Amino acid sequence: MTDTTMPPPEDRPAWGERFRRVATNGRLTAVLILLPPALILFTLFVILPLGESGWYAFYDWNGYGTPEDFVGLRNFEQMAGHSVFATAVGNTVKIIVVSLLVQMPLALFLALLVYRKTPTNAAFRLIFFVPYIMAEVAAGLIWSFVFDGNYGVTASIATTLGIERFFVLADRDLAFYAVMTVIVWKYFGFHMMIYIAALQGVPEDHIEAARIEGASRPQIVRHVQIPHIRPAIAVSAFFAIIGALQVFDLIIPLTNGGPSNQTQTIVTYLYEFGLTRLRIGFGSAVGVVLFVAAVLVAVFYQRIFMRKGTP
Amino acid sequence: MTGPHVWRNVARISLLLVVASFVLAPLWATVMGGFKTNAEIRTSAFALPDTWNLEVYGSILADAAFWRYLGNSLLISCTAVVLTLLVGSAAAYVFAQIRFFGSEFLFSYLLLGMMFPFATAILPLFIKVRDIGLLDTYWAVILPQTAFGLSLAILLFRTFFQQLPKELFEAAYIDGCGYVRFFLRFTLPLSTPILATVGVFVFVQSWNNFLLPLVVLNSREVFTWPLGMMQYRGEYVTQWNQTLAFVTLSLVPAVVFFLAAQKYIVAGLTGGAVKG
């Protein structure tokens, strides 16, 4: 006690001492080695492009040199006045409506049929999930065959009924219904899987208790199971909406946006009128609109569903 | 079993079979289409082929371009997975293990990527990739894919790392093990379930991606399989049997992978998504 020098108080070492400790126990080194790769990659390829789309959006620019031709809000005005953009937004809304009113109920219904762990159910779950793991482009190509009036299902139907062959994807009024069919086919399995995971977490004794009290199957579904999986339904709605904003890959092989731009979505519109025509400024403006839409959906989702104490 | 139960089950199974046929019929017609002549597809798209014609499938399997596309995709996807796992887990480890000024801010910053769709920034991304001089290279696809995958990866990794027992680190620390070494020797090996989940998620996203390669790749030597497939479709516009065979063969790796890693894929694509 007397022959050793007292160390400085533990909580207030001299600054130099503190720095030496931090450096030698590897904490600082760890931060400096492990964190920068993520920060650099993320900044370079996510944040900067995002910021730049907010910058380019106010210029008329073909992508060469630096943007100099400042046009203010003209890109946005042009977009707002373009009937094809209105169609694209309308189509996106249609996809959202079909996802919420057709796809999700279908997925929930099927989830209720197959959520119990039996071999038969497992087989059906597997089959229903297959479209989801396939690339959108492949799915689009396959369905462009199915809808081909000369070769596919529609051809078979026409032959069976003895009517003239018809071309759904070339029909201005029908083409988008075909697209929405493919969307339901492609994604209902994903939503179903979300519900299944949630349904398997509903305590069996709650269901049993309701049954003992004489509740029928539909009543159990309505009053026990669905309330229990509400967070999962919210999540799946969120993904349906965010997904609808991004539809692109499916459209290209199916219709390429046609006939006469009837099946454009926001992203195909961005690609067609921004990139292929090298109107980087205009395309960036479309990107900004898409970004704002996505953020609004995310904020809306948080407000509505996170507030109610769901995890 | 009582009567009503049996009937209910019969009704249930028949209904499921109807939906299953809606799901499988297009796929069935696709696989069969590759064995048929175009004339035969025209008259009966869904029937078994009259004669099993192996020529079309054979010609694609003998086509070097087909293998090239798959090889390119495999290379790109694997590199993106390795990079995402390494870079993402390293960053997540820092957030889970070390408190420092600004760490919460940086963490939120890195999560911003989950807020908006990839397509939002695709044009500036194209310009960026071009200006760096990466256009038409594998890196043009790999780096942006990795960057966009980081947000979800970091979120899931951090949650997992925080749940690892703290005592382990304290013991190793007393034995003189530093942060970086602890990360490599203990954290990573203990985290294989979450690494697998995130890895599968990134792989599937990368493997199926179309928009980014479409925008940044121009020459067929570097095409990924979705681009190759569209290219092939363009060349054989009127010959469905060729296209269908090509689609079938391109999908084989994905289906095999799915059947082999089913557990991780369902967890990665739904569980991962739900947590995000």
* Residue A9 predicted with pLDDT over 90: no
Residues B127, B258 share a domain: yes
Give the range among A10-24, A89-103, B216-230, B244-258 with minimum mean pLDDT: A10-24
Average pLDDT over residues A63-80: 91
Amino acid B174: pLDDT: 80
Look at A47 and B274 and tell me if their CB atoms are within 8 Å: no
- Shared domain for B263 and B205, answered yes or no, is yes
A126-130, A146-150, B205-209, B258-262: lowest mean pLDDT where? B258-262
In CATH, the number for domain A74-306 is 1.10.3720.10
Whether residue A266 has pLDDT greater than 60 = yes
Spatial neighbors of A224 by CB under 8 A, at least 6 apart, are A202, A206, A207, A210, A215
Nearest CA in chain B to A301: B115
Q: Do B119 and A137 touch (CB under 8 A)?
A: no
Q: Mean pLDDT, to the nearest integer, of A192-215?
A: 91
Same domain, B17 and B87: no
Chain A residue with minimum CA distance to B31? A142
**Residue A15 structure tokens:** 């600054």
Q: How far apart are CA B191 and CA A131, in angstroms?
A: 30
Query: Do B102 and B30 fall within a single domain?
Result: no
The better pLDDT of the pair B266, A117 is held by: A117
Tell whether B140 and B36 lie within a shared domain.
Answer: no
The span from the CA of A91 to the CA of A261, in Å, is 11
Chain B residues in contact with A113 by the CB 8 A cut-off are 12, 15-16
What are the structural domain ranges in chain A? 15-70, 74-306
Contact A41 B100 (CB under 8 A): no
The CA distance from A178 to the nearest CA of chain B, in Å, is 14
Mean pLDDT for chain A?
87
pLDDT at A309: 46
Rounded Cα gap, residues B268 and B276, in angstroms: 11
Question: How many domains does one find in chain B?
Answer: 2
Q: Cα B147–B148–B151 angle (5° rounding)?
A: 95
pLDDT band of residue A89 (cuts 50, 70, 90) is very high
Q: Residue A112 pLDDT more than 60?
A: yes
Reply yes or no on whether the pLDDT at A19 is more than 70.
no
Judging contacts by C-beta atoms under 8 Å, the chain A residues touching residue B241 are none
Q: Say whether the peptide bond before residue A131 is cis (omega within 30 degrees of 0).
A: no
pLDDT < 70: residue spans in chain B: 1-3, 268-276
Host domain of residue B138? 63-275
B93 contacts A245? CB cut-off 8 A: no
Task: Identify any residues that bridge with A65 across adjacent strands, giving them in sequence order.
Answer: none
Cα separation, B139 vs B133, whole angstroms: 10
Query: pTM of the predicted model, to two decimals?
Result: 0.89
Q: Is the pLDDT of residue A84 over 90?
A: yes
Q: Which of A47, A245, A249 sits opposite B117 (nearest CB)?
A: A245
Q: What is the pLDDT of residue B115?
A: 79
So what's the pLDDT on residue B271? 56
Flag if A287 and B126 touch (Cβ within 8 Å): no
CA of A277: which chain B residue's CA is closest? Answer: B123
Give the pLDDT confidence score for residue B2 in this predicted structure: 54
Residue A16: its pLDDT value, please? 54
Separation in Å, CA B37 to CA A139, B34, B239, B251: 22, 8, 9, 21
- Please provide the DSSP assignment of B100-143 as one string: -TTHHHHHHHHHGGGSS-GGGGHHHHHHHHHHHT-TTSTHHHHH
Confidence at A287, pLDDT banded by 50, 70, 90: very high
CB A154 within 8 Å of CB A168: yes
Q: What is the ipTM of this complex?
A: 0.90
- The per-residue pLDDT for B268 is 67
pLDDT digits (tens, 9 = 90+) for A154-170: 787 787 888 877 888 98
Q: What's the pLDDT at B167?
A: 84
Q: What is the pLDDT of residue A129?
A: 92
User: Which of residues B20, B40, B56 is at a domain's end?
Assistant: B56
On the 0-12 / 13-18 / 19+ scale of CB atoms within 10 A, A32 is: exposed
pLDDT for A2 beyond 60? no
More confident residue, A310 or A259: A259
Cβ contacts of A30 on chain B, cutoff 8 Å: 93-94, 97-98, 178-180, 183
- What are the structure tokens assigned to B57, written together? 């499938």
Residue B222 and residue B135 share a domain: yes
